[in-house]
Amino acid sequence: MCPATLLRIKNLSVTFQDGNGGLEALDSVNLDLPECRFVAVLGPSGSGKTTLLRIIAGLIQPTSGSLQFNTPEGNPPRIGLVFQQANLMPWRTAIQNITLPLEMQGISEKDACERARGFIDLVGLRGFENSWPRNLSGGMAQRVALARALIQEPDLLLLDEPFGALDALTREHMGAELLRIWQARETTVMMVTHSISEALLLADRVVVLSARPGRLVRELDVPFPRPRTDEIRYSPEFVALSHDLRASIKEEPEPIPVARKPKK
Ligand SMILES: Nc1ncnc2c1ncn2[C@@H]1O[C@H](COP(=O)(O)OP(=O)(O)OP(=O)(O)O)[C@@H](O)[C@H]1O
């Protein structure tokens, strides 16, 4: 069952203390994350997309504002994270990387391996369980990272440019794979991407942040029915929405810090 809202973000602002009077990264962001939905976050470089994800993951504290998770019995949310780099442990095989979070929870290696089998199948890694990270392609390493996040049965899966380091064709393929996996798991997903077409192809809702300090400037419910295939990229509606979103993302360069005269 999917209640309406998994996470309500209210008036979220973040200022980093950088020794120059503070750097405002996010300004008064209000956002609802609907449960079981796929939300993509777009915005110019430096608009605070990663900062937003890190706050939701509990890795940093906001300067002001609040986050309210709607989890069963008010339990702390389980959050899975996948970054641009897979960050695998090079001394552990693919399956040992996937089981790591369970082992850290005290689950025996045998039980963890049994649970991992289903996720290995889900992400398409059967036959590569015992491969070392150095022998995996970038796409396969990201599959391991996805399985490692999913095995924790997260309430929310946060993806920060998960395919940004892959070549264009592998990236497209991984996008389709992610759709398949998401549909199979019914997990709530929030994904940061620089790719407008990736956002439109994958997400139910696209949110756009302004140039720094990031403010929410656009929320778009993607109108394309599911299941979606790559073909929708070529439809006039897709092309029109891509142009429309591009106009919302004004790439403004970050202000160059003014050199201050040394005090005498
Ligand atoms: N720990 C930190 N301390 C100081 N400033 C930070 C810190 N983390 C991020 N920033 C600054 O906050 C702003 C937002 O950064 P963030 O990485 O969230 O943007 P982004 O939209 O994800 O950028 P990109 O698309 O380039 O990855 C940037 O100006 C960045 O330099």
* Sequence spans of domains, the chain: 35-62+74-78+154-250, 83-152
CA 112 to centroid of ligand 1, rounded, Å: 36
d(CA 211, CA 48): 8
Please work out, in degrees rounded to the nearest 5, the angle formed at the alpha carbon of residue 123 by the alpha carbons of 78 and 45: 65
pLDDT per residue as tens, the chain (264 positions): 565 899 999 999 999 988 778 899 999 999 999 999 999 999 999 999 999 999 999 999 999 999 999 988 888 899 999 999 999 999 999 999 999 999 999 999 999 999 999 999 989 999 999 999 999 999 999 999 999 999 999 999 999 999 988 898 888 888 888 988 888 888 999 999 999 999 999 999 999 999 999 999 999 999 999 988 888 999 999 999 999 999 999 754 444 555 555 544
What is the spatial distance between Cα 68 and Cα 197, in angstroms, rounded to a whole number?
30
Pocket test for ligand 1, best of 18, 24, 47 (most atoms within 8 A of CB): 47
**pLDDT at residue 256, as a whole number:** 53
Q: Which residues of 30-63 are buried (b: 16+ CB within 10 A; e: fewer)?
A: ebbbbbebbbbbbbbebbbbbbbbbbbbeeeebb
The CA distance from 56 to 45, in Å, is: 19
pLDDT for the residue 254: 46
Question: Which atom of ligand 1 has the smallest separation from the CA of 192?
Answer: 22
- CA–CA distance from 221 to each of 67, 166, 241 (Å)? 22, 27, 11
CA 211 – ligand 1 centroid, Å: 11
Q: What is the pLDDT of residue 225?
A: 94
Per DSSP, the three-state class of 48 is coil
In Å, what is the CA distance from 190 to each residue of 9, 32, 207? 13, 11, 10
The torsion angle over the Cα atoms of residues 170, 203, 39 and 178, rounded to 10 degrees, is -40
Q: Which ligand 1 atom is at minimum distance from the Cα of 18? A: 4
Q: Which atom of ligand 1 sits closest to the CA of residue 43?
A: 21
Q: Are 82 and 142 in contact (CB under 8 A)?
A: yes
Q: What is the predicted pLDDT for the residue at 16?
A: 94
- The protein residue whose alpha carbon is closest to atom 5 in ligand 1 is 16
State in Å: Cα 228 to ligand 1 middle. Answer: 32
CATH of region 35-62+74-78+154-250: 3.40.50.300
Q: Which residues contact 116 (CB under 8 A, 6 or more apart)?
A: 95, 98, 99, 102, 129, 147, 151
Q: How far is the CA of 24 from the centre of ligand 1 (A)?
A: 10
Of all protein residues, whose CA lies closest to atom 17 belonging to ligand 1? 50
- Distance (Å, whole) CA 154 – CA 77: 8
Residue 48 CA to ligand 1 centre (angstroms) = 6
| C-alpha distance from residue 242 to each of 45, 192, 218, 233, 239 (Å) | 18, 16, 13, 9, 5
Span from the CA of 232 to the centroid of ligand 1 (angstroms): 33
pLDDT at 264: 46
Measuring from atom 4 of ligand 1, which residue has the nearest CA? Answer: 16
